[in-house]
Amino acid sequence: MAGQDLLIDRSVARLAAAYVAAGLAPIRPPEDVDAVLEEIRAAILPLRMPAELEPTTALGFSTSGAPPASAPTGQDRA
Per-residue confidence (pLDDT) for residue 47, from 0 to 100: 85
Contacts 24+ apart (CB under 8 A), 24-29: none
Average pLDDT (31-60) is 82
Average pLDDT (32-51) is 89
Whole-prediction pTM:
0.41
Q: Reply yes or no on whether the pLDDT at 51 is more than 90.
A: no
Q: What is the mean pLDDT of the chain?
A: 78
Average pLDDT (16-42) is 93
- Contacts of residue 26, defined as CB under 8 A and 6 or more positions apart, other chains included, come to 16, 19, 20
Alpha carbon distance 63, 46 (integer Å):
17
